[in-house]
Structure 1
Amino acid sequence: MLVRPATVLDAGAIAVVQTRTWQAAYRGQMPQEYLDRRDPEQGRIRWLRWLEGNQAPAAVFVLDDDGAGVVGFVSVAPSRDDDTDPRFVGEVQALYVLPGHWDRGAGRLLMRAALRRLRESGYGDVILWVLATNDRARRFYEAGGWHPDGATKIDDSRGFPLTEVRYRHSGG
């Protein structure tokens, strides 16, 4: 498996990974009809725009598995939170791996690349948001040295409320 910087040519594969992972990981945590309506083509357009406008230190890395193509990705950028200083706090904005590659080290490889990029960009602290109900992801982050920092939020941008918990990792 190889972690590499994403290019605009990866937009479709990233969208497929995100869609399929949401449909598996968030089953029972979001309305099923919402998950069923997720369309990789709409995601491809969003990711294409993001990749075209991407400026350092923001980055997306993909994980290529020999023969399987892109099986995961991670995106990083300066923190978007009002209570953090984006000059000093980075953010892991998304980390998704196709379900068939869970528990095989793919997430750890991607997280290592994300933290390396943020550390090299000068960030001492890094945050991420995770659904409060996503026990699998929370265990993954905690095993990697992340901890809840006390911040929570309700995201209702999709038409239903989702409670999220912010995690923090120090030392990039």
Structure 2
Amino acid sequence: MVDAFVRPARPDDAVAVARLQLATWRIAYAQVIPATVLDALEEDEVAAQWHSAIVEPPTPRHRLLVAYEGAEIVGFAAIGPASGEDLVGPGYASEAPTAAGEWDATALLVNTLLVEPRWGRRGHGSRLLAAVADLARQQGFTRAVAWVLEADQATRSLLESTGWAPDGVGRVLDMDGTEVAEIRLVTDLTPADPQ
């Protein structure tokens, strides 16, 4: 049986997380994100950003979780409170209104969820999402949102298979002059009524 698990990231994970992110983006998003953007990403800079996110997160509720198979990091999830900008649109006004740059107390943002393609379909994404939901509930979040590239069917399928759904809100990112569409998926984190 393969040893597979999820744990909070440690500072020495930053290089492996950066390497995994860049490899995954360059494979999975090559037809979506302009080559100029992908080529400009330097592993050292990305690793430094992840190191900072681990040791000096914006809030104590921001976390980076890593998925392992054996001794290798195969995926990760970056999470934290959603901002007011993440909750625009009908039905998702914050219960505790946030000013620009402030964080919502009840809505979690799954900022990044990646599993390296060669490790896909082995349960790592589901383990990451289960760990995210457990941690979110422990921290008092009652709902979660994720912005997903419209062309990213793998992430969308994973989220939808675990109860997430598009809420009809989208946005367009400008990536070096190329418009890249994202959709928002949401889920309820309140525990089911045991009846």
Give the structure-1-normalised TM-score: 0.92
**Cα contact 1:88–1:123 (8 A) shared by 2:** yes
Q: Deviations over 1:34-80 (max 9, x none)?
A: 3344322111011111112123211111112214x211111110002
Name the SS for the 1:145 alignment partner.
coil
**1:171 Cα offset (Å):** 2.0
1:1-172 equivalences in 2 (<5 Å) = 1-54=4-57, 55-67=59-71, 69-82=72-85, 83=88, 84-85=93-94, 86-171=104-189
Structure 2: unaligned runs, 5 residues or longer: 95-103, 191-195
**1:114 Cα offset (Å):** 0.8
Name the SS for the 2:16 alignment partner.
helix
Q: Deviations over 1:115-146 (max 9, x none)?
A: 11111111111000001111222111111111
**1:33 Cα offset (Å):** 4.1
Name the SS for the 1:165 alignment partner.
strand
Aligned counterparts of 1:158 and 1:96: Cα–Cα separation in 2: 23
Letter matched to residue 183 of structure 2: V
Give the fraction of aligned pairs with identical amino acids, expressed as a percent: 27
Give the structure-2-normalised TM-score: 0.82
**Cα contact 1:75–1:114 (8 A) shared by 2:** no
**1:161 Cα offset (Å):** 1.6
Name the SS for the 1:56 alignment partner.
coil
Aligned counterparts of 1:124 and 1:23: Cα–Cα separation in 2: 34
